[in-house]
Structure 1
Amino acid sequence: MEQGCTNERGSGEPGPVENDDWLGAMLRMTNGARVTLEASRIAVGEQNNYGFEIHGTAGALFWDFRRMGELGLSIGSSYQDEPVRTLFAGPADGEFGAFQPGAGIAMGYDDLKVIEAYRFLRSIADGRPYGATLDDAIRSAETLDAMEKSVASGGWVTLPRA
């Protein structure tokens, strides 16, 4: 347990921290790609910021849950001069059309919950997955275990191939 957490106003006696509030990890993929992963549930000013940025040698991709109908895209080898353009989800994209009649109209959190429930029930009815599977959850848990082992050993940990 770490010391250092104060009350919500930043004053008072430091008390014990009983859970992790920030995660930082470096990952190497089988194909050689390098990944930096960060997560925090208490970062100041980042209310409900679920998202990702992918930067490669020929472009970049950006997505944020708060703007779930938008995808930022930059393609080209002149990375310093490439603009980011915004692509908007439209009626032909997945289940979007069941909720919105045209591109650029925001979907909401409740819409997403309806889609998740639909896919879950459809998975049961059809006997095949329409989304994440138990294998995906197990693989995620194995990855988190490997990250803990890496912290404990101070070195890289290799996951078996899926």
Structure 2
Amino acid sequence: MATAEPRLLGAGVIGLGWMGGLHARCYRRLPEAYSDLDAEFELIAAASRSESLRGIAERRWGFARTTGDGLSVIADERVDVVSICTPNSEHAELAVAASDAGKAIWIEKPVGRTLAEVLRVRDAVRRNGTPLAVGHNYRSSPAVRELRRRIADGRIGTVEHVRGHYDAGFAADPEAPLTWRFSEERAGGGASSDILSHLLDLAQYLNGPIREVVGRLRTVHPTRPLPAGDGGHFGGEGLDRRGPVDNDDLAVTLTAFADGSLGTFDASRVSRSGENALVIEVHGSLGYAAWNSEQPNEFLWRDRSMTAVAKQYVDAAMPEYGRFLPGPGLGLGFDDVKLIELGELVRLIRGEPSEAATIDDAVRVAAVEDALKRSASTGRWVEVPGAV
């Protein structure tokens, strides 16, 4: 019997920094781990303002064409899926345009700088019926997926408390240049949007919606050297002149979940304790679960059958891990987890069950961030709207 040819999907990438390059690599790698999806991607078009990055996109990843205009990628009839990997200020506009053009969307978080921008994208996606997956990549970790499954099965009993912290050090040096990430106009929130958002997504992925928050935001380094060029999280040269930082370096919040459990979360982009450590713990009436992004292929676990907390390795019987490796202790990397994210988007496109972070998940995160910002200005508890 003849085997049907895999469906060929056209991919377009807007923004060709590190994350845009990672999206391109994932498109090329999809058949390695997801042969059962019978889908392959052709790299049609890529956009960047940087001529050198456009050249890399053509030579290294094999895009058929490159451009300085992201909207022309969306307008290309051969493009079925659009990756949005630009600075945050461009996300909502590009996502609405892609949805209106009938494209599937793979967008890095945040979907918008504000709740209002995220709601604009949600309205477009609902209006057009277009699939959208958000780059909340940590939820795609096989360890996190396994914890979600076990918690949902009641193996640690009733959840009482969720605790999380995200310590990042990319902005610990006060002489690191003033890139777009330190601008509320270009980025939206600082640590509260850039990294706390990952904790808020994971907490709600594992334990359901957050309904009330109280918290504080703080800018530790109020000025930074103006940048000599473009940049993101890492590196770059600074000038002698300085400019103001107008979003937060630290975010701390206490939350109440819809089920009555409590959460405590903090995020720092100026931490000296770790380079990129997201830790989340779930305390239940019968047990405990915890995961650390710096040890991504293992987790801590205790249920009613155990006398103590034990470390467990991810193995091929757990979600998605077996697509890459045959046994525990071998270890998936960041690129692999992003590839899992792309696999979930393909399932979403096909209308199949998917663990992708959707636009509704993005709205839930943005609503909590919005409530936190209002709480920080008043010092009071603020309710998170449940039907935004």
- TM-score w.r.t. structure 1 length? 0.79
Asked if structure 1 preserves the Cα contact closer than 8 Å seen for 2:255 and 2:264, the reply is: yes
Amino acid at match of 2:253: A
Structure 1 pair 112–92 and aligned structure 2 pair: CA distance change class (3 A): same
Amino acid at match of 1:146: A
**Larger CA deviation: 142-151 vs 58-67:** 58-67
Partner of 1:49: 277
Q: 2:295 aligns with which of 55, 59, 67?
A: 67
Amino acid at match of 2:361: D
Q: Within 5 A, what are the aligned runs for 1:75-94? A: 75=303, 83-94=308-319
Deviations 1:84-143 (A, max 9, x none): 201211112111001111122211112112111121122113366431110110111111
Partner of 1:113: 338
Deviations 1:2-27 (A, max 9, x none): 6755879xxxxx97433211110011
Amino acid at match of 1:145: D
**Larger CA deviation: 18-27 vs 120-129:** 120-129
Alpha-carbon distance in 1 for matches of 2:220, 2:265: 25
Secondary structure of 1:50's counterpart equals strand
Q: Structure 2 unaligned runs (5+)?
A: 1-217, 226-241
- TM-score w.r.t. structure 2 length? 0.36
Q: Structure 1 unaligned runs (5+)?
A: 9-13, 77-81
Asked if structure 2 preserves the Cα contact closer than 8 Å seen for 1:2 and 1:16, the reply is: no
Asked if structure 1 preserves the Cα contact closer than 8 Å seen for 2:316 and 2:327, the reply is: yes
Secondary structure of 2:273's counterpart equals coil
Partner of 2:373: 148
Higher relative contact order (CA 8 A, sep 6+): 2
* Higher helix proportion: 2
Asked if structure 2 preserves the Cα contact closer than 8 Å seen for 1:67 and 1:106, the reply is: no
Q: How many residues align?
A: 152
Deviations 1:19-67 (A, max 9, x none): 2111100111233211111011221131111221223443321101122
Partner of 1:58: 286
Amino acid at match of 2:252: G
Work out the percentage of aligned pairs sharing the same amino acid.
33
Structure 1 pair 157–66 and aligned structure 2 pair: CA distance change class (3 A): same
